Amino acid sequence: MDREKAFTKALAQYRAQCTELFGLIRDEEKNKIRRWEDEKPSLELLIASLNQDTRRILADEMQSRRSDLARLDASSRLEAERRRQEESGWAEVAGLEEALERTTARLDRAKQQLYFPEVKGYRFSSGNGGIYVAAHDLHVSEVSGRFEFTVEPIAQQSQRTVPQQQQQQRPAGGAGAGPGPGPGDTSRLARLTVVLGGVSSSTALAERAEWVLSGMANWP
């Protein structure tokens, strides 16, 4: 009887602790969602600013530099001055293009945070240029590979040049000099090609790649 009372008391305490813990977890989730809701207007404002102001200013500045370069190309200024200003202008264009790429990447990240917030369970998000995807889980169903080994003879002319080169490199007579290749030499020269490939597939994407390694082989 005492054991039953002790067990009942311990069970009641455990239930109370679990209830309190679950309440804390729910409160934390609500706080996360509330913080995200508070940050949502600032994200929308950032997206509008990047999309309408920063990108437009950079694009206009880049177009202006391109127009200046076009006018320089058609002008009759000295070649040295034209080359100097052209190099400077293209350097500025490259810097503006890099700044535009960074701004676009920042805009894409901000949109991903807005459309697929982590507090709603999204673990993976990607995309750019107005097309964005996200998933809670990404399952890889299969990973496979391929190995290919081939040997093929090279051109007949190259086969005839090898014994001649070997004969020129060997000493002509004397002690220790080995015999040069004669008519009965059956050496063969071939090209060795190794191809490594692989395919990885999932419910979302598939990728395939190949690497080719080539070399020469000479065997009797």
Query: What is the structure's pLDDT at 220?
Result: 47
User: Mean per-residue pLDDT for 189-215?
Assistant: 46
Kindly tell me the sign of the dihedral angle through the C-alpha atoms of 40, 44, 49, 50: positive
Do the beta carbons of residue 123 and residue 135 sit within 8 Å? Answer: yes
How would you classify the pairing of strands 124-128 and 131-135? antiparallel
Residue 122 lies in a domain: yes
Give exposure, 180-211, as e/b (b: 16+ Cβ within 10 Å).
beeeeeeeebbeeeeeeeeeeeeeeeeeeeee
Do both 31 and 123 map to the same domain? yes
Within-domain flag for 181: no
Q: What is the pTM of this model?
A: 0.39
Do residue 11 and residue 106 come from a single domain? yes
- Among the residue ranges 33-47, 58-72, 82-96, 200-214, the one predicted with the least confidence is 200-214
- The verdict on residue 179 lying in a domain is no
Query: In the chain, how many domains are there?
Result: 2
**Residue 153 and residue 129 share a domain:** no
- 59 & 114 share domain: yes
Per-residue model confidence (pLDDT) at position 189 = 59
And the tokens for 45?
A: 């404002």
Can you give the residue range of the structural domain that contains 156?
142-170+186-219
Tell whether 77 and 162 lie within a shared domain. Answer: no
Q: Check whether 213 has a pLDDT greater than 50.
A: no
pLDDT at residue 186 is higher than 60:
no
Residue 175 lies inside a defined structural domain of this protein:
no
Which residue has better confidence, 195 or 177? 195
Mean pLDDT, residues 54-76 taken together: 77
The per-residue pLDDT for 113 is: 86
